[in-house]
Structure 1
Amino acid sequence: MSESGEAIVRLRPAHRGDWDLIRSWLARPDIEAWWGPRSATEAEVNIALGSGHALSRIIEADGKPVGYAHAVDATIWGEELPDDLEPGTWDLDLFIASEEHRGRGVGHVALAKLKEEVFSTTLATFVCVFPSIRNERAVRAYEKAGFKWKRVWNDPLMGPSWFMIAERPAR
């Protein structure tokens, strides 16, 4: 823990050896409600883990794995995304599996670190997220992290979802 009592959050590269842990998290009803149907999220994580156009990360708090995050060049998803998605946009997704670390800023810090990593290591012009309109906690967290609402998009798996973007910071 830091001197302020907050958890020290780190993103470490996720590997195939993390698959059993990630899969156990994806099987939980609370994670499915946050991130979507298990079969779809398992496929998404597998694509991210196997792609050179993705950053797959285990979220650690004080050295303990507490969640998963990835950033994916949105073109990897093919035709499944909104037509008005800007070229050079990366799609971000994350969840905090550890209930004791939810609501304590770990997700916010992890999202900021992931967003910063995308903009510092890729040519991404935007990052985007697609939280379900039913998931107000996620929407508020993304707003707090600097994402702006673009519009509602009908996600084929999750139904009506907010299409939210954050632009590359000016240097």
Structure 2
Amino acid sequence: MEPAGQISLRPATRADFDLIRRWLARPDIQEWWGPVSATEAEVNMALSSGLAICRVIEAEGVPVGYAHAVDATLWGENLPDELEPGTWDLDLFIAAEDQRGRGVGQIALAKLREEVFATTLAVAVCVFPSVKNERAVRAYEKAGFRWQRVWHDPQTGPAWFMVARRGD
């Protein structure tokens, strides 16, 4: 496939929630992100929190996915014990099938990670891709994330706990 064109992240607002909900209801997105009720709640919490960066991913000005970065403490206590205080959790998906496999997710991830480190005091960022989603794991590795261990996500089951530290 052709490489991705101009990729940008714009602030997600409540006005975007219907579009994001439609994406979250799709089976392919649920396979990546988890059950729709849990993911809708996660996006709602992120959009309502002052401790989150919520973005719509655009390719050439067209919405193609969603991303957010959240101070991991927002998720409560059900996190790996070795999660360092000051770590932000990053999540994203590319909903537009024609944009997958073209580097859009990689670019969006790099931009979101850069924004977190430029605008917060985060010491690290983390991701929790399903052990079944090897494509995502490889993308995170390319983006500088390192495996810590397998962690049991209460919503989606076994997931890799992966971390990238500030300055890596």
TM class, shorter-length: over 0.9
**How many Å apart are 1:5 and its aligned residue?**
6.0
1:68 is the counterpart of 2:60: no
Question: What RMSD over aligned residues (CA atoms) do the two structures have, in Å?
Answer: 1.1
Using the size of structure 2 for normalisation, the TM-score is 0.97
SS at match of 2:109: helix
Gaps of 5+ in 2: none
Q: Superposition pairs for residues 20-169 of structure 1, below 5 Å?
A: 20-169=18-167
The structure 1 segments of at least 4 consecutive aligned residues displaced by more than 4 Å after TM superposition are: none
Q: Matches of 1:23 and 1:160 in 2, distance apart?
A: 24
Gaps of 5+ in 1: none
SS at match of 2:162: strand
C-alpha distance after superposition, 1:70-120 (max 9, x if no partner): 000000111121111000000000000000000000000000000000000
Q: Matches of 1:113 and 1:100 in 2, distance apart?
A: 20
SS at match of 1:41: helix
Q: Percent identity?
A: 72
Q: Which moved more, 1:5-14 or 1:70-79?
A: 5-14
State the one-letter code of the partner of 1:59.
I
State the one-letter code of the partner of 2:19.
L
**How many Å apart are 1:165 and its aligned residue?**
0.2
Aligned residues: 167
Using the size of structure 1 for normalisation, the TM-score is 0.96
